[in-house]
Amino acid sequence: MARVAVVGVGYSGFNASSPDLSWKEITYEAAVRAYEDAGINPRRDVDAVVTCAEDFWEGFAIFDEFVPDQLGGVLKPTFTVTADFLFGVANGVMLIKSGLAEIAVVEAHSKASDILTFGNVVRFAYDPIWLRPVGNGHPFYLAALEKSYYSNLRGYCDYTFAEVVAKNKKNGRLNPDAPYSADITADDVLSSEPSFYPLRKLEIAERADGAIVFVLARGDIAKELNPEPVWIDGVGWWSETSNYDTMSFTALYARKSAEMAYEMAGIDNPARQIDLAEVDDRFAYKEVQHIEALKLAKAGEVDDLLESGYFDRSGEIPVNVSGGSLSVGNLLEATGAQKALEVVLQLRGEAGRRQVDAEVGVAQVWRYLPTATGAVTVFSR
Amino acid sequence: MIERVRGIKFHKKQDVAIVGAGITLFRRRLNETGKELSYYAVKQALEEAGLELSDIEMVVLGSAPDAFDGVHMKGEYLLDGSGASNRPYMRVFVGGGTGVFAPIAGYWHVASGLADVCLVVAEEKMSSSHPHPQSAFKYIWDPILDRPLNPNLIWIFALEMRRYMHVHNIKHEDIALVSVKNKANALDHPSAQLAAKITVEDVLNSEPMSLPVRRLDVSPPSDGASALIMVAPHIARQLTDEPVWVDGVGWALDTTWWTNRDLYFPRYVAEAAKMAYKMAHITDPRKEIDVAEPYDPFDYKELHHMEGLGLARKGEAPILTREGVTARDGDLPVCPSGGLLGVGNPIAATMGVKVAELYWQLAYRAGKRQVAKEVTTGVTQAWGDLMQVGTVIVLSNKR
């Protein structure tokens, strides 16, 4: 069966806001860099273009209309996946494995700074009958409820989640594209404003702008373009339910999508075989959930491991060496793209001052509030 | 650096067959929620295929703008009604072309080997948008260049229809014949919303909307859902002796700048058809295609799309229609289902009158709608975005 590799990556950002550029322009910048990186001409060489966007984030009724031009996808097989970038990667892999494409491009972007009423947009994702009428609170209180349930279930104390924030924000200091990085301690996090108690202000990722483009290719072509491409060994995606009241609150979606991706990648002992993980940390407790779900640690043991530095840059399995979303910002549907980008740059040895030694890396994303859907991609060099 | 132009070689992991389909009623306003509509369509498709929900490995959803339902991440919202709980679930979106695009995505879920049994669900509930779903289309335009003109969809299609009539010197009478044919065909469709025996005069005398478009030139907004089951060959063999195979798929998205294109010919459909025909080894579509279900939200669009699909030369589709070639008992039956004009137009859910209809025709399960001639190969197509995307599937009952 055809293998699939990443032969080019390009990105623009990541910034807290980008008033000088439109979303088309940041996408164009990222695309040009990715095509340059892959050494291809998009008009000639690309067989399919996958873009990842949700209409309401973009402020359009049919956003798919606006995707082809800035990507060189005009009159080509171009389409939109209404999900995160990692779902787009899964489609890119399937397009190549099904023979529909030899070279496929995947794009996602965030122009979160254009959104004036973020909380109200998220509220539009609530079930209109069951969930929307339940109070007028900002959706972050749903995350606070989940955090409360989950930390009680596992017996994690707030200090653990504060350590996640301190670790990621410090990691971000080495990343030139991490606008929310900071040199802070767990105590700083614990003393930040309890905006959605027990969720504190610093445990919530702020929003950011940016665009990311990947060029994927079938194995034989990938080798022609780059003798040492980064391979996509496994993809997985999974949805639990659309109902907030029946979600597991233990990131079952991440567990199941990881199992799917690991099976495809032939990984049976993730904690030993995976060298590097970039997981969704748009709320600090989510990183802990996702570390468990990816089987990088046993349930209930993440607090001790975190404290011992197991997930640090220099630890056994570095998690979110990019600084994660807590440093880089919430990139909406491009969140998974930032995670995948970091894994690819690390595996290529192009991560600059934050470089760690890794051969197999995993990127994981959750579809944010109020969903229980997620995706996982396993990369290797 | 790659030195040569690469052709798509279609080295798939496995073939893909359709073994079941379902469709709900199409109506202007249904009491059911989108989730419930999806459930009905899925149930019917599972029953036809002889499968249970637990047999489904992955689910693909097609649904057009979130703005119709007023639900952000509509895919996530429709998840449980579509049978996707606790499964890999993917929603794809190309505006109005989604009805034929969702099964294309279903095709690659199976052809890539990632799934052996894939359920494809298409849902649309346009009536949630008050007072009329047209208001959702206020937000499909470029905010700087188009939106200040306050355009709506009917008038850009009026531009396109007029251009098509002008270039080929086509009379409205010839275009109206499509509406007459499809609404009559729909009399035999149990889901139909606007089936009727009408005449060309009725069309020409109907209420002007944005001339030359009149009321009976247009399909209605509808609520509805449809479902398809796509499987790998070893599963198809267990379920039926007569599966229908997906021979080719193709799609193409043209530039956002619709104002810069000559609207008389749908180049995006021609590109999509080229891809699908190449994959299906079809060189002369007019001879090799036995039955067609092109997208007909407006009567002129059926003609326009026939030309894009290579079923008629440019400007000749109205002649074929006038001569009865495209009638249900003609040499090339077109929209034997009754199409969107007769059965209704719940945007993505039109999968039920396009891909599902073609499947039923090729499986000889179309009942009263079964075309007179013997059929082996058919083509179906949808169109959407800003007159911009073409999605094409070629099906065949011969492998």
Write the CB contacts of A64 (distance below 8 Å, at least 6 apart in sequence): A51, A53, A79, A80, B93, B94, B95, B253, B385, B389
What string of DSSP letters covers A279-325? ---SBHHHHHHHHHHTTSS-TT-HHHHHHTTTTSTTSSS-B-TT-HH
Checking if the pLDDT of A156 tops 90, the result is yes
Residues A216 and A308 in one domain: no
Q: Considering only CA atoms, which of A67, A26, A51 is closest in space to residue B386?
A: A67
Tokens of A85: 């970038």
Q: Tell me the sheet residues that pair with B125.
A: B223
pTM: 0.97
Chain A residues lying within 8 Å of B101, measured CB to CB: 79
For the stretch A287-311, pLDDT in tens is 999 999 999 999 999 999 999 999 9
The A residues from 128 to 157 touching B (CB cutoff 8 Å) are: 128-129
For the stretch A231-245, pLDDT in tens is 999 999 999 998 888
Select the residue of A59, A96, A242 nearest B80 (Cβ to Cβ).
A242
Residue A122 belongs to some domain of the structure:
no
Residue B177 belongs to some domain of the structure:
no
Task: Answer whether A100 sits within 8 Å of B111, measured CB to CB.
Answer: yes
Q: Which domain holds residue A67?
A: 4-116+208-230
Establish if B300 touches chain A: CB-CB under 8 angstroms. Answer: no
Write the CB contacts of B150 (distance below 8 Å, at least 6 apart in sequence): none
Residue B136 belongs to some domain of the structure:
no
Report pLDDT for B42.
98
- The residue among B82, B98, B108, B130 with the most chain A CBs within 10 A of its CB, best to mutate, is B108
Chain B residues lying within 8 Å of A73, measured CB to CB: 253
Task: Answer whether A95 sits within 8 Å of B112, measured CB to CB.
Answer: yes
Report pLDDT for B46.
98
Report pLDDT for A134.
84
Residues A84 and A131 in one domain: no
Q: Considering only CA atoms, which of B105, B120, B97 is closest in space to residue B19?
A: B120
Q: Are B263 and B305 in contact (CB under 8 A)?
A: no
Q: Are B138 and B156 in contact (CB under 8 A)?
A: no
SS3 B29: coil
Residues A131 and A221 in one domain: no
Task: Answer whether A75 sits within 8 Å of B85, measured CB to CB.
Answer: no
Half-sphere exposure of B274 (CA within 13 A, CB side): 12
Residue A148 belongs to some domain of the structure:
yes
Distance from CA of A133 to the nearest CA of B (A): 14
Over the Cα atoms of chain A, what is R_g? 19
Q: Are B243 and B49 in contact (CB under 8 A)?
A: no
For the stretch A167-215, pLDDT in tens is 999 999 999 999 999 999 999 999 999 999 999 999 999 999 999 999 9
Task: Answer whether B113 sits within 8 Å of A44, measured CB to CB.
Answer: no
Residue B247 belongs to some domain of the structure:
yes
Report pLDDT for B8.
54
Report pLDDT for A160.
97
Establish if B139 touches chain A: CB-CB under 8 angstroms. Answer: yes
Longest dimension (CA), chain B: 61
Q: Are B179 and B203 in contact (CB under 8 A)?
A: yes
| Mean pLDDT, residues A255-278 taken together | 97
Chain B residues lying within 8 Å of A97, measured CB to CB: 12-13, 111-114
Q: Are A10 and A34 in contact (CB under 8 A)?
A: yes
Residues A89 and A198 in one domain: no
- The residue of chain A with its CA nearest to that of B273 is A77
Chain B residues lying within 8 Å of A41, measured CB to CB: 2
The B residues from 74 to 133 touching A (CB cutoff 8 Å) are: 74-80, 84-95, 101, 105, 107-109, 111-114
Residues A277 and A131 in one domain: yes
Residue A53 belongs to some domain of the structure:
yes
Distance from CA of B319 to the nearest CA of A (A): 29
How many other C-beta atoms can be found within 10 angstroms of the C-beta atom of residue B7? 9
SS3 A13: strand
User: Total structural domains in chain A?
Assistant: 2
Distance from CA of B287 to the nearest CA of A (A): 25
Distance separating alpha carbons of residues A256 and A236, to the nearest angstrom:
8
Residue type, A145: L
Q: What is the ipTM of this complex?
A: 0.96
For the stretch A315-360, pLDDT in tens is 999 999 999 999 999 999 999 999 999 999 999 999 999 999 999 9
For the stretch A24-76, pLDDT in tens is 999 999 999 999 999 999 999 999 999 999 999 999 999 999 999 999 999 99
Task: Answer whether A124 sits within 8 Å of B71, measured CB to CB.
Answer: yes
Q: Which domain holds residue B230?
A: 17-130+220-396
Residue A183 belongs to some domain of the structure:
yes
- The residue among B2, B119, B347, B383 with the most chain A CBs within 10 A of its CB, best to mutate, is B2
Distance from CA of B73 to the nearest CA of A (A): 6
Distance separating alpha carbons of residues B175 and B301, to the nearest angstrom:
9
Distance from CA of B40 to the nearest CA of A (A): 18
Checking if the pLDDT of A225 tops 90, the result is yes
Establish if B347 touches chain A: CB-CB under 8 angstroms. Answer: no
Tokens of A369: 């509030």
Establish if A85 touches chain B: CB-CB under 8 angstroms. Answer: no
Establish if B6 touches chain A: CB-CB under 8 angstroms. Answer: yes
Write the CB contacts of A125 (distance below 8 Å, at least 6 apart in sequence): A56, A369, A370, A371, B71, B72, B73, B76, B77
Establish if A248 touches chain B: CB-CB under 8 angstroms. Answer: no
Residue A121 belongs to some domain of the structure:
no
Q: Residue holding tokens 């607090």? A: A303
Establish if A36 touches chain B: CB-CB under 8 angstroms. Answer: no
Establish if B384 touches chain A: CB-CB under 8 angstroms. Answer: yes
Residues A149 and A39 in one domain: no
Report pLDDT for B1.
39
Task: Answer whether A242 sits within 8 Å of B113, measured CB to CB.
Answer: no
Distance separating alpha carbons of residues A41 and A32, to the nearest angstrom:
10
Residues A59 and A153 in one domain: no
Distance separating alpha carbons of residues A17 and A111, to the nearest angstrom:
8
Establish if A236 touches chain B: CB-CB under 8 angstroms. Answer: yes
* Percent of chain A's residues with pLDDT above 90: 95
Strands, E assignment, B83-169: 89-93, 117-125
Distance from CA of A197 to the nearest CA of B (A): 26
Residue B31 belongs to some domain of the structure:
yes
The B residues from 212 to 251 touching A (CB cutoff 8 Å) are: 249-251
Report pLDDT for B11.
78
What angle (nearest 5°) sits at the alpha carbon of residue B381, between those of residues B377 and B382?
A: 165
Establish if A117 touches chain B: CB-CB under 8 angstroms. Answer: no
Distance from CA of A340 to the nearest CA of B (A): 19
Q: Considering only CA atoms, which of B94, B124, B326, B100 is closest in space to residue B220?
A: B124
Residues A137 and A48 in one domain: no
Domain boundary among the residues A230, A263, A298 is at A230
SS3 B102: helix
Residues A152 and A68 in one domain: no
Mean pLDDT in runs of 10 for chain B (399 residues)? Answer: 48 93 97 96 98 97 93 95 96 96 98 97 94 90 90 92 97 97 98 97 97 96 97 96 96 94 96 96 97 98 98 97 97 97 97 98 97 97 95 95
Residues A224 and A241 in one domain: no
Q: Which CATH number characterizes residue A281's domain? A: 3.40.47.10
- The residue of chain B with its CA nearest to that of A237 is B88
Task: Answer whether A75 sits within 8 Å of B91, measured CB to CB.
Answer: no
Task: Answer whether A60 sits within 8 Å of B72, measured CB to CB.
Answer: no
**Residue-wise over B337-372: b if at least 16 C-beta within 10 A, else e?**
bbbbbbbbbbbbbbbbbbbbbbbbbbbeebeebbbe
Residue B170 belongs to some domain of the structure:
no
Residues A236 and A215 in one domain: no
Residues A80 and A158 in one domain: no
Select the residue of B85, B114, B249 nearest A241 (Cβ to Cβ).
B85
User: Total structural domains in chain B?
Assistant: 1
Residue B380 belongs to some domain of the structure:
yes
Q: Mean pLDDT for chain A?
A: 96
Distance separating alpha carbons of residues A288 and A144, to the nearest angstrom:
14
Establish if B140 touches chain A: CB-CB under 8 angstroms. Answer: yes
Task: Answer whether B76 sits within 8 Å of A373, measured CB to CB.
Answer: yes
Q: Considering only CA atoms, which of B345, B399, B341, B397 is closest in space to residue B371?
A: B397
DSSP secondary structure letter of residue B194: S
Tokens of B397: 């009952």
Q: Which CATH number characterizes residue B353's domain? A: 3.40.47.10
Strands, E assignment, A35-192: 48-52, 78-81, 103-111
SS3 A328: helix
Residue B370 belongs to some domain of the structure:
yes
Residue B356 belongs to some domain of the structure:
yes
Establish if A91 touches chain B: CB-CB under 8 angstroms. Answer: yes
